[in-house]
Amino acid sequence: MKVYDGSQSESTTQNAPERIKVGIAEYKVTTDAALLTTSGLGSCIGVAIYDELNGAAGLVHVMLPSAADIDGGNRAKFADTGVEVLVEALEAAGSTTDAMRAKIAGGSDMLDFSENGSSIGSRNAKQVRRTLEEYDIPIVGEDLGGDHGRSIKLEAATGELIVKSANTESITL
Amino acid sequence: MPDVLIADDSEFMRNLLREILEEDHQIVGEVENGVEAVEVFKEETPDLVMMDIVMPIRDGIEATDEIKSNNPDANVIMCTSVGQEEKMKEAVKAGADGYITKPFQKPSVIEAIEDVVPS
Amino acid sequence: MNVDIQSLGTFNQLAHEGAEEATRSMAQMTGIDAVVDVTKITLLNRDDVGEELTGREFVGVQFAFDGVLEGDTVLVFDADSAATIADALVPGDSPDEAMARSGVKEIGNIMMSGFIDGWADYVEATIDHSPPEYIEKSGADVLPDAPTDADHQQVFVFKSQIEWIDESVNFYIYMLPEYEPLAELMMEQADTEDDAIPIDKLQTFNEMTTKGTQKAADNVEMMTGIPTDAEVTQISFAPITDVPKQVGTETYVGTVVEFTGTPSGYLMVLFDEVSAVTVAEAMMPIEMEGDELTDQHTAAIEELGNIMTSGFVDGWANVLQTSVEHTPPRVVHDMGRAIVDPLAAQVGQHQEHAFIIESEMKTEDIEFESEILALPNEKELREALEALDVERANETQADVEQIFE
């Protein structure tokens, strides 16, 4: 029986970048120009951060505004700790916050039944902005709000974030 | 021909009721919520109101309650998808004269109306 | 018999970690990169176990286990995925079939050991398993028979779905434990009383919901003339972050309401786009041109969703002798997961895990499928179960004639 070491990826061709899926409340970082994707963003937000200098990039899919509101260990689930954990992972990959740029998408108000107060989508967006601001990471592209879902792809090589909706054309941030 | 007011937030349902009723009834209004139902009732005092329960702004039971307390002689038939006993009791308390559950067939609508407003 | 939410959560976590361990073993042996997509605990009628596998061919390995837990577990691959795995293990143009089979068996063996060992470690007891048996069957037949128990028509199934990156092939781990040892183990793990769920009542609740699904299916049939069968009704338990994955990434059309009372939560009626057009056309008096979804179609879907919603929740209210209010339906036409996501987030503000009530309906003759998904708030669901009088379980229908005599 042949045993591969797991790091080999023979099935992917040379030209196409490796594709890495990021689930809800997950984050992934790449240093070799992979394509990071996440799908089905409703009120959730996809925060893409890339380093213009060293080419590292990461994506986190956050669900709720703040870890302070609820117990539970998964930092990637919340807007505040999700941004933190992604920035830390990028720093561990050799990036500095000075070189980091952010693009964000999601935070839709769809199916918000709360009659008063703001929707989870807009609260998520507010918290993501606040936390990025604390790190002084500029938001260079965004597609937020509205009443539709989104799926996104981050091309680590270029920092381009492609946003797809069910009923409209894709846009590139 | 008896006058009828249709109150239902679903366009589809209003169309369906109109088709069933227009042959033998004069349709004096079609409204989408309980507030409009009360207003149009005051203006038109129809012989009959076909009233949905789950509607935005104001539900059909509250609207029925107001209509019946000002006009005890009004005839209101609830026409709703809700099949909960507690809701039916609330409807009775509000003064509803009949209760049709959706989905319905034409004969059951005609029959329910016949019970409440005999021709 | 009470089980607390915490221990359900722990058991879910165990199954999830076991599946991850199994997936790592496979990645190491084959270089195939895969992730555990969903792990959930489902309570359903034993005859319905594996319904979602219908119409596909599977290969896999099966084990019996006993010890503190008893039952069977199986790891199954889509037949196509099995070929991919065999190829990764034994590269070549045409891998020898016997060799491929033995490779799948070995992989299965290693994966499942990882899965079972995690459980044994957690409960600090031994769980033995039999040697792996290679199986090749279609649909639900690939699963072992659900354990029989005279007292319980329903069974708990632990199910993990593992997804290949880059490919649309999957494999599944099913574990079907005997009811009593599992319930006992869960009770032992329970450490608080205040969030206890009476699991026997959960079964009754499931039965009520099955009737609700039947009612909803009858309503569809009456409005469309399409003979519609209620299929599986089940209640699952999963981390809140896995809830949106209960539906696919493709586009759905349907309605969403928020319901309040005991229980409270959100309810979705979803159709794939083709089914939505089919069902809306069937409701309309005139033939529409083209097969695009128009405003008339969505108006029909809105009303159908409304009526299906009532059919579904009225039974709960009538048995519990209370009322369950719901908002007017909101029509949605979007990516499936994006529809569920904001609802899961709203429920997730107060809880880590969620119960998901899922029902499906289908028709034989034409392409038509619909699913109903309810996401109750845990607190109100618990109150509903506490208030549930098992003797009244059949009283799902109200008698209009009697009330409006």
Reported as a single tens digit per residue, the pLDDT across C59-98 is: 888 888 888 788 888 888 888 777 777 777 766 655 567 7
Q: Do chains B and C touch (3 or more CB pairs under 8 A)?
A: yes
Nearest to C244 among A24, A64, A151 (CB): A24
Residue A23's Cβ-side half-sphere holds a number of Cα atoms within 13 Å equal to: 16
Q: Which of C168, C189, C210 is the last residue of a domain?
A: C189
Nearest to C328 among B55, B92, B102 (CB): B55
Q: In A, which residues are within 8 Å of C327 by CB distance?
A: 113
Which of C226, C258, C298, C303 to mutate to probe the B interface, most B CBs <10 Å?
C303
Q: Please, which residues bridge with residue C62 across strands?
A: C74, C133
Q: In C, which residues are within 8 Å of A69 by CB distance?
A: 349
Helix, strand, coil percentages, rounded to 5, for chain B: 45, 20, 35
> Does A155 score more than 90 pLDDT?
yes
Q: What is the pLDDT of residue A9?
A: 42
- Structural domain including C330 reads 196-403
A35 min Cα distance to partner chain C (Å): 11
Q: In C, which residues are within 8 Å of B19 by CB distance?
A: 285
CA atoms of C267 and C375, how far apart (whole Å): 6
Q: What is the pLDDT of residue A168?
A: 80
What residues contact residue C128 under an 8 Å CB cut-off, 6+ apart?
C65, C66, C67
Q: Do chains B and A touch (3 or more CB pairs under 8 A)?
A: no
Taking the alpha carbons of A152, A156, A46, C237 in that order, is the dihedral positive or negative?
positive
> Does A3 score more than 60 pLDDT?
no
Q: How many residues does chain B have?
A: 119
Nearest to C342 among A5, A70, A111 (CB): A111
Q: Which residue of A has its CA nearest to C265?
A: A113
**Chains touching B (3+ CB pairs < 8 Å):** C
CA atoms of C116 and C21, how far apart (whole Å): 10
CA atoms of C249 and C231, how far apart (whole Å): 22
> Does A164 score more than 90 pLDDT?
yes
Please indicate, yes or no, whether residues C166 and C243 belong to a single structural domain of this protein.
no
C129, two tokens: 């398993």
| Alpha-carbon distances of C39 from A64, C139, C159, rounded to whole Å | 21, 20, 6
Q: Which residue of C has its CA nearest to B53?
A: C328
Please indicate, yes or no, whether residues C349 and C234 belong to a single structural domain of this protein.
yes
Please judge whether C403 and B54 are an interchain contact, meaning their C-beta atoms are less than 8 angstroms apart. no
Q: What is the pLDDT of residue C394?
A: 83
Structure confidence at residue A124 as a pLDDT band (50, 70, 90): very high
Q: In C, which residues are within 8 Å of A39 by CB distance?
A: 249, 335, 337
Residue A92 CA to its chain's centroid (Å)? 17
Structure confidence at residue A13 as a pLDDT band (50, 70, 90): very low
Q: B98-101 and B76-80: which strand pairing? A: parallel
Taking the alpha carbons of C126, C132, C138, C141 in that order, is the dihedral positive or negative?
negative
CA atoms of C134 and C397, how far apart (whole Å): 48
Pair B34, B55: CB distance under 8 Å: yes
Please indicate, yes or no, whether residues C235 and C124 belong to a single structural domain of this protein.
no
B99 min Cα distance to partner chain C (Å): 7
Reported as a single tens digit per residue, the pLDDT across A14-48 is: 567 888 889 999 999 999 889 999 999 999 999 99
ipTM score above 0.90: no
B63, two tokens: 């609207």
Which of C255, C288, C301, C306 to mutate to probe the B interface, most B CBs <10 Å?
C306
Q: What is the pLDDT of residue C255?
A: 95
Give the CATH number, domain containing residue C312.
3.40.1550.10
C342, two tokens: 């904001």
Structure confidence at residue A80 as a pLDDT band (50, 70, 90): very high
Q: What is the pLDDT of residue C175?
A: 87
Please indicate, yes or no, whether residues C152 and C293 belong to a single structural domain of this protein.
no
Instruction: State pTM to two decimals.
Output: 0.88
The number of distinct structural domains making up chain C is: 2
Q: Please, which residues bridge with residue C229 across strands?
A: C362
Q: Which of C189, C209, C243 is the last residue of a domain?
A: C189
Please judge whether B81 and C311 are an interchain contact, meaning their C-beta atoms are less than 8 angstroms apart. yes
Structure confidence at residue A7 as a pLDDT band (50, 70, 90): very low
Q: Per-domain residue ranges for chain B?
A: 3-116
Please judge whether A1 and C340 are an interchain contact, meaning their C-beta atoms are less than 8 angstroms apart. no
**Helix (H), strand (E) at residue C114:** helix C97-123
C108 min Cα distance to partner chain A (Å): 14
Q: What is the pLDDT of residue A167?
A: 78
Q: What is the pLDDT of residue A1?
A: 34
Please indicate, yes or no, whether residues C136 and C64 belong to a single structural domain of this protein.
yes
B3-116, what's its fold?
Rossmann fold (3.40.50)
Q: Which residue of B has its CA nearest to C303?
A: B10
Please indicate, yes or no, whether residues C170 and C209 belong to a single structural domain of this protein.
no
CA atoms of C103 and C111, how far apart (whole Å): 12
Please indicate, yes or no, whether residues C98 and C206 belong to a single structural domain of this protein.
no
CA atoms of C159 and C258, how far apart (whole Å): 28
For chain C, the average pLDDT equals 83
Pair B20, B67: CB distance under 8 Å: no
Please indicate, yes or no, whether residues C37 and C100 belong to a single structural domain of this protein.
yes
Q: What residues of chain B, 19 to 38, have a C-beta less than 8 Å from chain C?
A: 19
What residues contact residue B55 under an 8 Å CB cut-off, 6+ apart?
B7, B8, B9, B32, B33, B34, C328
Please judge whether C321 and B96 are an interchain contact, meaning their C-beta atoms are less than 8 angstroms apart. no
In order, the DSSP letters of A9-21 are: -TTS-SSSPPEEE
Please judge whether C345 and A63 are an interchain contact, meaning their C-beta atoms are less than 8 angstroms apart. yes
C161/A contact by beta carbon, under 8 A: no
**Helix (H), strand (E) at residue C320:** helix C295-320
> Does A8 score more than 50 pLDDT?
no
Q: Please, which residues bridge with residue C173 across strands?
A: C75, C160
Please judge whether B81 and C404 are an interchain contact, meaning their C-beta atoms are less than 8 angstroms apart. no
Give the domains, in start order, of chain A with CATH numbers: 19-172 (3.30.1330.200)
Q: Which residue of C has its CA nearest to B54?
A: C328
Q: What is the pLDDT of residue C114?
A: 73
Q: Which residue of A has its CA nearest to C163?
A: A21
Comparing C-alpha atoms, which of C153, C186, C235 is closest to residue C69?
Answer: C186
Taking the alpha carbons of C159, C163, C168, C172 in that order, is the dihedral positive or negative?
negative
C154 min Cα distance to partner chain B (Å): 27
Please indicate, yes or no, whether residues C231 and C246 belong to a single structural domain of this protein.
yes
Comparing C-alpha atoms, which of C198, C215, C202 is closest to residue C396?
Answer: C215
Q: In C, which residues are within 8 Å of A9 by CB distance?
A: 31, 33
A166 min Cα distance to partner chain C (Å): 5
Look at the block and give the residue holding tokens 């021709």.
B119
Which of C259, C260, C298, C307 to mutate to probe the B interface, most B CBs <10 Å?
C307
Low-confidence ranges of chain C (pLDDT < 50): none
Q: Which of C189, C223, C245 is the last residue of a domain?
A: C189
Q: In B, which residues are within 8 Å of C399 by CB distance?
A: 85
Residue C169 CA to its chain's centroid (Å)? 19
Q: In B, which residues are within 8 Å of C325 by CB distance?
A: 54
C350, two tokens: 């107060």
Low-confidence ranges of chain B (pLDDT < 50): none
Please indicate, yes or no, whether residues C52 and C103 belong to a single structural domain of this protein.
yes
**C interface residues, B as partner, C-beta within 8 Å:** 215, 219, 222-223, 283, 285, 299-300, 302-303, 306-307, 309-311, 314, 317-318, 321-328, 397-400, 403-404
Please indicate, yes or no, whether residues C27 and C149 belong to a single structural domain of this protein.
yes
Please indicate, yes or no, whether residues C141 and C228 belong to a single structural domain of this protein.
no
For chain A, the average pLDDT equals 87
